[in-house]
Structure 1
């Protein structure tokens, strides 16, 4: 079962997260073969961009393992997150972020979260990196959808995953992992 974990940074947490980077990566090393997607959300796309959150989509045996992953993670344990969104994830495209090879000059990467049980279908695009439905931990109730996409700007990213009730978040996002790491390491 796949789980979507998005920790939203508390204000002023950037320095704390920087100081915990090695602990975070070491923790994630234990899940390398199970990660579907990972990476920080950012204030912008330049070199001076600061983290606003941390996304992980991970394949785990059950909700208890997902809770352990979300709440034992070093950033969370140190109080870097204001909140954590933890949901089951139905991977509609059936791929990982490392399977995505298309890139377009001038396009940025975004995490789009559309909460709410209804809304128009997403625009299937070659710019979808990972897309899926967000479900309650028991897998019963549909809570919304999430996608990692490439787009020229936030508005174009949001248009790929419209929300019927208007509760859509769009965050700058980049592939995560240790510097220079392109794929999860083998177990």
Structure 2
């Protein structure tokens, strides 16, 4: 089962985050073979982390709970909020298989939270949404998939990792998304993001 995690930092925890970095990386090393994507969200200038995003293939909800709440940053008090959702890897690959890396482009996490209107109530489908993103930013689509309820039965949003020229391009991508135009999103977050992992020595 694939799970999406977004952990939002508290204000003023930059020093604590740095102090706990090695413990965080050591914890994540245990999941290296199951990791689909990972990395911090950032302030627009790229200087400070604002949260941590991970997408991981895990056996069940208990394993997802352990991943989220036994993580060293969480235990140390770095995070203000932890979002855990089932996810579906529609591209069928990891971020390390992404062939992009266009000079001057930036990377973003687009986290779209579904509202009370169900997909079945609108003339729009998950597949249509996926095709739109593939057409709109085929070379910049790093990872993409629906956020799902705990049992995996219900759509509750969308999470995408994209590489685009700038934030304006990311926000345009969101506005033209078929789900957004159909009113299915309650709110959408666009975060600056970068590939994560232990720095190369």
Q: TM-score of the superposition, structure 1-length normalised?
A: 0.90
* Aligned counterpart, 1:39: 39
How far is the alpha carbon of 1:123 from its aligned partner?
Answer: 2.1
The structure with the largest helix share of the pair is 2
Give the unaligned 5+ runs of structure 1: 182-187
Pick the structure with greater CA Rg: 2
Aligned to 1:177: 197
Q: Report the secondary structure of 2:102's partner residue.
A: coil
Q: Distance in 1 between matches of 2:63 and 2:133?
A: 32
- SS of the residue 1:27 aligns to: helix
Deviations 1:89-126 (A, max 9, x none): 10111110000021212210000011115577242122
Bigger mean CA deviation after superposition, 114-123 or 76-85? 114-123
For the aligned residue pairs, the C-alpha RMSD in angstroms reads 1.6
Query: What is the match of residue 184 of structure 1?
Result: none
How far apart in 1 are the matches of 2:149 and 2:72?
A: 24
| Equivalence map 1:1-187=2 (5 Å) | 1-46=1-46, 49-116=47-114, 117-118=118-119, 121=129, 122-124=132-134, 125-161=138-174, 162=177, 163=180, 164=183, 165=185, 167-180=187-200
Cα contact 1:107–1:152 (8 A) shared by 2: yes
Quick one: distance in 2 between partners of 1:45 and 1:129?
21
Moved over 6 A (4+): none
**Structure 2 unaligned regions, length at least 5:** none
